[in-house]
C-alpha cells in the first residue's frame, strides 16, 4: 500500500510529494516531541522525588549525627521513627536506616502503618558506596515483590561525618502518574498526527528522506574517519545539487586533513626531538643538584655526614624523642695521638687513617644510626632509640672494633696501632638540649683522654669540673 501511494505521489508531481513529505515530517516531529516530553516529564518527576527525599533526609541528618556523636542510640531510634513517619506521610518511605562511617547498620525503622517490605533493605554494595561518598546518592531498583523502589543516602555531618542516612521510597505513585500522563500525551499526539496524515500522507521517503539520509550516512562515515566516503548523486533537482556540493566539500576536507596530518607528523617529530633534548638537560641538571646536595651534607674526605648536617639531624632527633618519649645516645670520639700519624708518616697517611676509621664506624653501627665527622680527627654518632647503658655498650663495641682493625697507609704500609677514646651521653638522662648534650659527651671524652685513653666514658655529673 505504501509503495502504491509513493508511486501515486511521483505521478502527481512535486507538490503532492512535498505534501506527503510534510505529513511524515509532522508525524516524526510530533513523535519525537512526544517522546522527549514524556522523558522530560519522567525525569522531572523522579528528580522531584530525589529532591524532596534529599531534603527530608537532610533535615534529619544533623540530629542523627549528633545522636551518633554522643552515642545516644535512644534518640537515634526516635529520629528514625520520626523520619519514617514523616516520610511515609509525604513521600512513601518504606524503610530508613542509619549507618556508621564503615557502612555498618546502627538503627533502622519502618512506618508503623505499613508491614515490613521484603527486598527493600539495601544491598551491602550500596551501604559501602553510601558510606564512602560525601554526596547524596540515589539508586532505583525493583524489589522481590515487584515494587519500584528508590534508595537515597545522605551523609550525616555535624562538624565531622558520623554516618550515613539511607532511606527507601516507594515510586509506585510516581510511576502511575507518569503512565497516566504518557497515555494522555499519546492520545493527543495520535489525534493531531492523524489529522495531518489525513491531509498529507506518503512520498517523503523517496523525495527527501532517502537523499538526506544518504548524505547523513556519508557525513557519519566522514566523522568516523572515512574521508573517502561520498554520497550517491541520482537526481538533478535541488537535492541532487546539494549532494554534489556535499561531495565537493568532502573531497576538500579530505585533502585538507591529509595536509594537516602531514604537518602534525612533522611537528610531532620535531617536538619529540626537543623533548629528548630537554630530557637530557633536565637529567644533567638533576645530577648537578644531587651532587651539590651531597657536597652540602657530607664530608669530602671520609664520605660521612658533615658537622652542619649532623647538627640538623640532632635537633630533629630531639624533637622526635620529645614527641615519642624514646631515648637516644650520643658518642663523640677521636683518634688517640693522631698528631703522631701526621708527624711520622705524613698527612696522606693521616687522611687514610681517618677514612678507614669512618668505614669501621659505619660497619660497626646500625644503618639507622647517624655517623658524622665532627672536625679534625673527631667523629660523632647518633643512636636513636638507645638508652644510656646500651649507648655505652655500643661505644665500647666500637672501640674494640677499631682496636682489632689493622690500619694501613695509602700504599698498603702498616701504620701501627690505632686507638680511639670517646665520651657518651644520653637524651634525656644527661641533657634535653643539643648544646648541653654535646658538651656532656665532650666532657666525657676529655675525661677518657685524661685517664689513659683507649676507653669510652659515660657522662655523669661527677665528671663536671665544677663538681
Cα Rg, the chain, nearest whole Å: 44
Q: Please spell the DSSP secondary structure of 110-177, one letter per residue.
A: --TTSPPPTT-SPPHHHHHHHHT-SS-EEEEEE-TTS-EEEEEEEEEEESEEEEEEEEEEE-HHHHHH
121: which DSSP letter?
S
Are the CB atoms for 160 and 68 separated by under 8 Å? no
∠235-238-243 over CA atoms, to 5°? 65
Look at the chain and count its residues.
467
Beta bridge partners of 335: 420
Beta bridge partners of 97: 108, 166
Are the CB atoms for 257 and 249 separated by under 8 Å? no
- The residue annotated as part of the active site, out of 89, 262, 290, 377, is 377
The whole-angstrom separation of Cα 112 and Cα 84 is 8
The whole-angstrom separation of Cα 3 and Cα 384 is 95
Q: SS3 for 365?
A: coil
Spatial CA neighbour of 352 closest among 267, 416, 292, 273: 416
Spatial CA neighbour of 95 closest among 168, 181, 26: 168
Is 377 assigned a catalytic role?
yes
Are the CB atoms for 305 and 298 separated by under 8 Å? yes
The whole-angstrom separation of Cα 458 and Cα 424 is 5
φ, ψ dihedrals at 300, nearest 5°: -65, -35
Q: At what angle do helices 347-364 and 388-404 cross, to 10 degrees?
A: 130
Are the CB atoms for 150 and 49 separated by under 8 Å? yes
278: which DSSP letter?
H
The whole-angstrom separation of Cα 296 and Cα 308 is 9
The whole-angstrom separation of Cα 390 and Cα 369 is 13
Are the CB atoms for 334 and 379 separated by under 8 Å? yes
Spatial CA neighbour of 20 closest among 6, 30, 33, 34: 6
The whole-angstrom separation of Cα 428 and Cα 425 is 9
Spatial CA neighbour of 385 closest among 372, 371, 364, 368: 368
- Residues recognised as catalytic: 377
Amino acid at each position: 500500500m505504501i509503495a502504491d501511494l509513493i508511486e501515486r505521489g511521483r505521478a502527481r508531481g512535486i507538490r503532492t510529494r512535498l505534501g506527503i513529505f510534510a505529513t511524515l515530517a509532522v508525524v516524526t516531529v510530533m513523535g519525537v516531541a512526544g517522546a522527549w516530553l514524556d522523558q522530560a516529564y519522567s525525569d522531572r518527576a523522579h528528580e522531584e522525588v530525589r529532591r524532596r527525599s534529599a531534603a527530608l533526609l537532610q533535615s534529619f541528618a544533623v540530629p542523627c549525627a549528633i545522636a551518633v556523636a554522643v552515642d545516644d542510640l535512644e534518640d537515634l531510634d526516635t529520629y528514625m521513627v520520626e523520619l519514617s513517619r514523616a516520610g511515609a506521610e509525604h513521600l512513601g518511605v518504606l524503610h530508613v536506616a542509619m549507618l556508621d562511617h564503615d557502612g555498618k547498620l546502627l538503627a533502622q525503622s519502618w512506618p508503623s502503618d505499613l508491614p515490613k517490605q521484603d527486598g527493600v533493605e539495601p544491598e551491602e554494595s550500596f551501604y559501602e558506596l553510601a558510606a564512602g561518598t560525601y554526596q547524596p546518592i540515589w539508586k532505583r531498583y525493583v524489589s522481590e515483590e515487584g515494587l519500584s523502589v528508590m534508595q537515597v543516602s545522605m551523609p550525616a555531618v555535624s562538624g565531622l561525618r558520623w554516618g550515613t542516612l539511607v532511606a527507601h521510597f516507594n515510586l509506585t505513585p510516581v510511576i502511575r502518574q507518569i503512565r497516566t500522563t504518557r497515555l494522555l500525551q499519546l492520545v493527543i499526539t495520535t489525534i493531531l498526527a492523524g489529522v495531518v496524515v489525513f491531509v498529507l500522507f506518503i512520498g517523503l521517503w523517496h523525495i527527501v528522506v532517502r537523499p538526506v539520509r544518504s548524505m547523513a550516512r556519508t557525513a557519519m562515515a566522514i566523522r568516523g574517519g572515512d574521508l573517502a566516503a561520498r554520497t550517491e548523486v541520482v537526481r538533478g533537482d535541488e537535492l541532487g545539487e546539494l549532494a554534489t556540493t556535499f561531495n565537493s566539500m568532502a573531497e576538500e576536507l579530505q585533502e585538507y586533513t591529509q595536509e594537516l596530518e602531514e604537518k602534525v607528523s612533522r611537528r610531532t617529530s620535531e617536538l619529540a626531538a626537543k623533548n629528548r633534548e630537554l630530557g637530557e638537560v633536565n637529567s644533567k641538571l638533576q645530577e648537578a643538584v644531587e651532587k651539590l646536595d651531597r657536597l652540602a651534607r657530607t664530608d669530602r674526605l671520609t664520605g660521612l655526614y658533615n658537622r652542619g648536617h649532623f647538627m640538623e639531624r640532632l635537633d630533629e632527633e630531639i624533637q622526635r624523642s620529645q614527641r615519642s618519649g624514646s631515648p637516644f645516645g650520643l658518642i663523640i670520639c677521636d683518634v688517640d695521638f693522631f698528631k703522631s700519624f701526621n708527624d711520622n708518616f705524613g698527612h696522606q697517611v693521616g687522611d687514610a687513617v681517618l677514612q678507614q676509621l669512618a668505614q669501621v664506624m659505619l660497619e660497626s653501627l646500625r644503618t639507622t644510626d647517624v655517623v658524622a665527622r665532627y672536625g679534625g680527627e673527631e667523629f660523632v654518632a647518633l643512636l636513636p632509640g638507645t638508652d644510656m647503658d646500651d649507648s655505652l655498650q655500643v661505644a665500647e663495641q666500637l672501640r674494640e672494633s677499631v682496636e682489632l682493625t689493622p690500619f694501613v697507609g695509602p700504599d698498603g704500609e702498616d701504620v701501627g696501632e690505632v686507638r680511639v677514646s670517646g665520651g657518651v651521653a644520653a637524651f634525656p638522662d644527661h641533657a634535653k638540649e643539643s648544646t648541653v648534650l654535646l658538651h656532656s659527651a665532650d666532657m666525657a671524652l676529655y675525661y677518657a683522654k685524661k685517664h689513659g685513653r683507649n676507653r669510652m666514658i659515660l657522662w655523669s655529673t661527677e665528671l663536671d669540673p665544677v663538681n
